[in-house]
Amino acid sequence: MRLRELWLYGFKSFGRKTGVRFAPGITAIVGPNGSGKSNLIDAVRFVLGEANARALRGSRLEDLVFSGSAARRGLGYAEVTLVLDNRDGFFSLPYEEISVTRRILRNGESAAWINGSPVRLKDLSTLFLDTGLGQGAFAIVGQGEVDALIAERPEARRTAFEELAGIRRFRERKREAEAD
């Protein structure tokens, strides 16, 4: 599995449709302060199903929508698509390429698609759960997160280990069954 492309429209500082193609190997993103480097990572987290606006450095999810700049008016929605290479069958879906899209409207409504089919937001987080890309996993390590993990309560730390071990899926199901 490999990230192939990231497309943004109306997400944070990206008021114009913007695409990033990741070639095999290491990609480094460089640019001046405030140019949107961290926003790109927020966009990846957003598609992975992040539901907590603060994890995306906003106070509400609506704050993710491009609010305008000196040159360009604000937009009505933000949309991010992640294109993943699945030729190795990493995701148990019958596609060699998986395209995951999430959109959020300024009024807070949201929508998501996997390879063009509408899905629930929960389906996005479930797709990535236990893959190492799930919430609380270490595929993305933010500034200060290593320190935070060390300082974390033991229960919170366990979530991280469960995701690494690939057993969070089962715990989530158990929790859902108990809630029914």
38 touches Mg ion (CB under 5 A): yes
# of chain residues touching Mg ion (CB under 5 A): 2
Cα–Cα distance measured from residue 61 to residue 11, given in angstroms and rounded to the nearest whole number: 11
Cα–Cα distance measured from residue 51 to residue 44, given in angstroms and rounded to the nearest whole number: 13
Cα–Cα distance measured from residue 168 to residue 165, given in angstroms and rounded to the nearest whole number: 8
Quick one: 63 or 123, whose CB is closer to ligand ATP?
63
Quick one: 66 or 128, whose CB is closer to ligand ATP?
66
The one of ligand ATP, Mg ion, none whose footprint includes residue 172, by CB under 5 to 8 A per kind, is none
Q: What are phi and psi of 29, to 5 degrees?
A: -110, 120
37 touches ligand ATP (CB under 6 A): yes
Handedness of CA 68, 72, 76, 81 (dihedral sign): negative
13 touches Mg ion (CB under 5 A): no
The one of ligand ATP, Mg ion, none whose footprint includes residue 66, by CB under 5 to 8 A per kind, is ligand ATP
What's the length of the chain? 180
Integer CA distances (angstroms), 154 to 125, 130, 145, in order: 23, 20, 15
12 touches ligand ATP (CB under 6 A): yes
Going by the annotation, the residues of the binding site are 32-39
Quick one: 78 or 127, whose CB is closer to ligand ATP?
78
Handedness of CA 153, 154, 157, 162 (dihedral sign): negative
Residues 54-73, mask of contacts with ligand ATP (x by CB under 6 A): ---------x-xxx------
Contact yes or no for 11/79 (Cβ under 8 A): yes
Q: How far is the CB of 141 from ligand ATP (least distance, A)?
A: 15
Binding site for ligand ATP (CB under 6 A): 12-13, 31, 33-39, 63, 65-67
